[in-house]
Chains A and B, each alone.
Chain A
């Protein structure tokens, strides 16, 4: 089972109560991973309002998490 590194920002950091964590996952896609974590941490943001990045590049929700990847879910941005 791959080990992935997760970093959390903004509202997702508040809801997980942590800035980062490593997890073993069998999620077949990033979408499934978000849903799994959302259930665990009770995320309030639906997936259609979130983007996802793998190793500091935007990625597709269909991507299969691989060992050693850094995965970041991107809540709606609010710079400026």
Chain B
């Protein structure tokens, strides 16, 4: 069963959460990455995301399989957006349900950290001044 998706359409958290709402699960933890209006001291107008979809999907799936193996969790789903996003849009959504909260929190953190390091997705910032730049997010000292 696929758990990781690259999506050109907006993320609907309610639908994704329902997939994780299992009887064995005592809780649910989600991380949403949002497009923010400033980065590195510059006013950001929006972000363009692109991916090498066949490899992004395979690598994302591998990360979620690792999380299922390493943490005592019930299920997990992750979605990464591609396309042109505006301020406030959800760029990435990760949900984890588990019998107990500790595993849910830790798995959620593991998944977002690994996605940012390993999944071939790239973001280009569009600035209010009109220029753009490709970002290598995992090399920044601070991230969202």
Note all chain B residues with C-beta closer than 8 A to A11.
122, 134
Alpha-carbon distance A57/B54, docked complex (angstroms):
9
Asked whether A80 lies within 8 Å of B122 as measured between CB atoms, the reply is: no
- Shortest Cβ distance from A56 into B: residue: B54
Taken residue by residue from 32 to 75, chain A's Cβ proximity to chain B (1 for < 8 Å, 0 otherwise) reads as 00000000000000000000010011100000000000001011
Cα(A75)–Cα(B51), bound, Å:
11
Interface magnitude class on chain B: 20 to 34
What residue in chain A is nearest B57 (Cβ atoms)? Answer: A56
Q: Let me know if B134 and A75 touch, CB within 8 A.
A: yes
Chain B nearest Cβ from A46, distance in angstroms? 13
* B139 within 8 A of partner (CB): yes
Secondary structure at chain B's binding surface: helix, strand, loop or mixed?
mixed
Q: Count residues of A near B (Cβ-Cβ below 8 Å).
A: 17
Q: Tell yes or no: B55 within 8 A of A by CB.
A: yes
Check: B136 CB closer than 8 A to any chain A CB. yes
**Do A9 and B50 touch (CB < 8 A)?**
yes
Chain B positions within 8 Å of A57 at CB level: 55, 58
Chain A: which residue is nearest B119 at the CB level?
A79
**Complex: chain A residue closest to B133, CB-CB:** A11
The residues of A that contact B51 with a CB separation of less than 8 Å are 9, 79
- Taking the closest CB of chain A, its distance from the CB of B33, in whole angstroms, is 5
Which residue on B lies nearest to A14, using beta carbons?
B134
Taking CB as reference atom, which chain A residue is nearest B118?
A77
Closest to A7 in B: B52
Contact assessment for A79 and B136 in the assembled complex, using a CB-CB cutoff below 8 Å: no
Q: Which residues of A contact B99 (CB under 8 A)?
A: none
